[in-house]
Amino acid sequence: MLTFFVLPYQHVGESASGAVRTCLASNAIVITSYIPQFEDFQDEVVKIKNLNKTSISNQIMALLKNPELTKEKLYNAQKVVDQISYDRLSLKTLKLLQ
C-alpha cells in the first residue's frame, strides 16, 4: 500500500523545505507544488502546477497506475534521506573536527 503526502503550498515568504524532508523520511510518495522553497527537490518528488482537488486526485490515480514511477520516486527519496541522515551528517562533522 502506498502512502502519499501532498504539500500544495502557495507562495510563502519563508522556507518550507523541512516539510518535504520530513515527508521523504516517511517512505511515502511526496507531491509538491512548484514554489521556490521546493526547488531543491526534483527526482524524489512529484510536482504539480494545478493545486485544485481534482488535479491532485488525478495525479494520485496516475501514480497508482504507474508502479515503476512510484518505485523510482521512493528510491530517489531514500537516497536523499540517506544523505541528510544524522548519522551521515555527524560523521562529516567529526571528520571536519579531526
- What is the residue whose three cell numbers read 520530513? 22
Across 12-25, average pLDDT: 81
Indicate the fold that domain 4-97 takes in CATH: Rossmann fold (3.40.50)
Distance CA 96, CA 79 (A): 23
Q: Flag whether pLDDT at 16 surpasses 70.
A: no
Cβ atoms within 10 Å, residue 82: 10
Task: List the grid coordinates of 77.
Answer: 527519496
Beta strand residue intervals within the chain, DSSP E: 4-7, 29-33, 46-48
Q: pLDDT-based confidence at 37, cuts 50/70/90?
A: confident
Considering the chain, what is the average pLDDT of its residues? 89
* pLDDT 10s digits, 50-63: 999 999 999 999 99
For residue 46, the cross-strand partners are 31
**15 — pLDDT class (breaks 50, 70, 90):** low
Cα torsion angle, 41, 51, 3, 13, sign:
positive
Query: Residue 86's pLDDT is what?
Result: 73
The more confident residue out of 45 and 86 is 45
Q: Give the three cell numbers for residue 34.
A: 512548484
What's this model's pTM, rounded to 2 decimal places? 0.82
